Structure formats: C-alpha cells, structure tokens
Amino acid sequence: MAYSDKVVDHFNNPRNMGSFKKDEDGVGTGMVGAPECGDVMKLQIKVQDDMIVDAKFKTFGCGSAIASSSLATEWLKGKTIEEAQKIKNTDIVQELNLPPVKIHCSVLAEDAIKAALADYQKKADKPEAAR
Amino acid sequence: MDQHHTHNTGSRDLRMARSMCWHCQSEMSGEYFCERCVKVQPVSKETDYFTCFGLPRRLTIDLKKLEAKFYEMSRAFHPDFYQNKSETEQTISLGNAATLNTAYRTLRDPIQRAEYLLDLEAGSVKDIRTSPPSDLFEEILELQETVEAYRASDRTSETGRQLLTRLVAERQALDQRKQDMEHHLQQICTDWDALQDRGEATSQARTERDRLLKQMREILSNRTYVKNIVNDLAATIG
C-alpha cells in the first residue's frame, strides 16, 4: 500500500510538532490512544479570546497517524472553538486520501481534537481546578 | 477467493437448518457428522471458538488437550479426505478446516484468547471505555523523542553513547513492565474462571464480572502500547 503524496509530505515535514506546558493559561491538552494498534497521540491548542492561536502535536504511530495529527494542528490554527468542534475525521480522510485500513488514524485525530477542546473548556470553566 | 466466497454463501444457507442434516434432512444428533448419512456438517459461524473445541468458556486452557482436539478435528475435516466426495462436502470440509485453524491459533495464545473472550463477553474493544493512561502516554512520547534523538545522533559520539545507555535501560524497564502486565492479566484470568465456575447470578457477581472485564481490557490495551514502543526500541537499538 502506498501512502498518498500528502501523507508523505506531512510525515517528512510534520507541522507544529512539539508541546506546550499543560498548565499554561489557555492551553487545552488532548491525549488519546488506539488500543487496537497501540498508536498514541497528544494534541494541544492554545486559545486566546475564543480563538485558537496555536496548536501542537506529538504522535507515536504510523505515517497516517502522524499526518492526521499534523494536518489537524494546521486546520485548528486560526479557528474559533466552535469552528474547531466541526472538524470531522471524514474531512481528514478526504484531504489525505487515506485508505480504508487507515481511517482509524483520522478517528484518533478527531478524538484528540475533541479531547483538547474539552480540556480547554474544563479549565476555562474553573481555572483554579486546573492547577 | 472464489472458493471462499462459495463457502460463505453455502454455510449461510446451511446454517438456517443447523439442527437438520443438509443432506438427508434428518434431525442432527451428531456434532459435526450426521449420524444417519455420515455426511460432514458445517461448523456454524455462530459457534464460538471455545464451543468449537468442546471447551468451556474459560481463560485457563489445557494446551495439550486443545492441541489433541485440534489434531483430531483437523484429521476429520482435512480437505484431502474429501477429494472424492461431492462439491458441497468439499466446500464444507474446507470451510471447517479454515475455521478450525483460526480457532486454534486464537485460543493457543493467552493474549489472543483473552482478547477473543472480551469480544465475546463485552462486544468489540471500543464498547468498554477506559480512561486513557495519560502517564503511560507521556512516557511513550518522551521515550519516542529520545529514540529520535539517538537516530539523529552520531552514534560514536559521547552523546550518542549516552543516549544508547539510556535507551537500553528504558527497554529493560519496559520489558519488565510488560511481564508484570502479563502476570497481572494471568491473575485476572484466574479470577474470571473462578467467577464463572461459581456461576452465581447475583448483582454482586455481575459487578465483579464487569470489573474483571474492564481490568482485562485495560491491561490488554496498555500492553499493546508498551509492546509497540518496545518493538520500536528493539528495531532501533537492536
């Protein structure tokens, strides 16, 4: 099975790899894993005035999982929280041309986005509890 | 492929009349062969692998017994013995032999066996939600960075050697952890079997059942994460 050019590009030049400090103001962290294949994904957003100003990821997994999370961070930047909620795994599948056996990688990326958003919301609702 | 397809359609049609011999239509009393016309009968797709070998649904299995039963049944269904039989019988024997092989491979391995039991008892992996082990994930991602730093480093340099020493130690620790997980899993399997043997229908027993299944799921998932990073380490440092 050959990876699409876009997957290869993200894999070779991952965008926004790295991390923020978890307890930093406005940072939401999503940490997810796929027990079926053992892939692990960490996706973080930095929010200012309801706008995602920066996003970072770290992924341990196959090329498609890395590409999915790399693409997700690209898409997240500049979006509002509400817009970010609307990112679907199928959008990622389409953009990266993922084959059926790799669809779970895009699902993992969507889960990571959701988890990061939820974590941000939780911290925003009661900032003292996040410390 | 074609043959496989034929078998699938065939057994689906035949399964409907499982209690009846597909050939002589008499009531079936034999297990895999009709007692009246001695024709081979398809193993139903609904039959789980434990039942397939006449085993109770337990996680501790006598491997010698399993192997003996597998050989016995393999002989009974071996396609070679059906070369002069009708096409239907050939298809059935081939299908049964294939099912049997998968069943044996699954039950022989304690990890696959537990995964399979979880599927039977609790539906697919995703049906049991466990909270992601954040600490383990952090560790894996951090280790992954060290692995990458080592890959990029000049291996003969001081830094390269230091990274290697660290990775070797990490690998040992992870191997140990994987073993601990497997021991823990074994304990849970024993508990599961004991619970099944007691066969209580109390709400307490149901709670215990759910707790054991969830623990099993958790350990199996975490073991997969650890196994992946260990394999990655092994591929890098040899």
Q: How many CB atoms lie within 10 A of CB B160?
A: 16
Residue B83 Cα to chain centre, angstroms: 32
To test the contact with chain B by mutation, choose from A23, A37, A60 the residue with the greatest count of B C-beta atoms within 10 A, namely: A60
Scanning chain B, the segments in alpha helix (DSSP H) are: 2-15, 49-52, 63-77, 87-108, 110-122, 134-152, 158-198, 203-237
Please report whether residue A12 resides in a domain.
yes
Domain ranges of chain B: 3-108, 134-237
Q: pLDDT per residue over B210-221, tens digit each?
A: 899 999 999 999
Please report whether residue A128 resides in a domain.
no
Q: pLDDT per residue over B121-132, tens digit each?
A: 886 545 566 677
Per-residue pLDDT averaged across B48-61, rounded?
92
Three-state DSSP at B124 gives coil
Please report whether residue A48 resides in a domain.
yes
Annotated active-site residue A62? The verdict is no
User: Which chain A residues are Cβ-neighbours of B217 within 8 angstroms?
Assistant: 35
Asked if B228 lies within 8 A of A33 by C-beta distance, the reply is no
Q: Work out how many domains chain A is built from and give that number.
A: 1
Q: How far apart are CA B64 and CA B236, in angstroms?
A: 38
Q: How far apart are CA B87 and CA B81, in angstroms?
A: 13
Closest CB from A36, A37, A60 relative to B140: A60
Annotated active-site residue A37? The verdict is yes
Per-residue pLDDT averaged across B1-29, rounded?
54
Q: pLDDT per residue over B167-208, tens digit each?
A: 999 999 999 999 999 999 999 999 999 999 999 889 999 899
Confidence of residue A56 (pLDDT cuts 50, 70, 90): very high
User: Which chain A residues are Cβ-neighbours of B132 within 8 angstroms?
Assistant: 31-33
- pTM of the predicted protein model: 0.80
Residues paired with residue A57 on neighbouring β-strands, in sequence order: A17, A43
pLDDT of residue B126: 52
Scanning every residue of chain A, which has its alpha carbon at the shortest distance from the alpha carbon of B218? A35
Secondary structure element (H or E) that encloses residue A93, with its range: helix A89-96
- Closest to B212 (Cα-Cα) out of B190, B229, B227: B190
Where do we find the tokens 């081939």? Answer: B94
Confidence of residue B11 (pLDDT cuts 50, 70, 90): very low
The CATH number assigned to the domain holding A89 equals 3.90.1010.10
pLDDT at B145 over 50: yes
State which residues form the domain around A14. Answer: 5-123
Q: Which two tokens stand for residue B117?
A: 């039991």
pLDDT of residue A82: 95
Please report whether residue A131 resides in a domain.
no
Q: What ipTM was estimated for this complex?
A: 0.84
CATH architecture classification, B3-108: Orthogonal Bundle (1.10)
In chain A, DSSP finds a helix count (H) and a strand count (E) of 5, 3
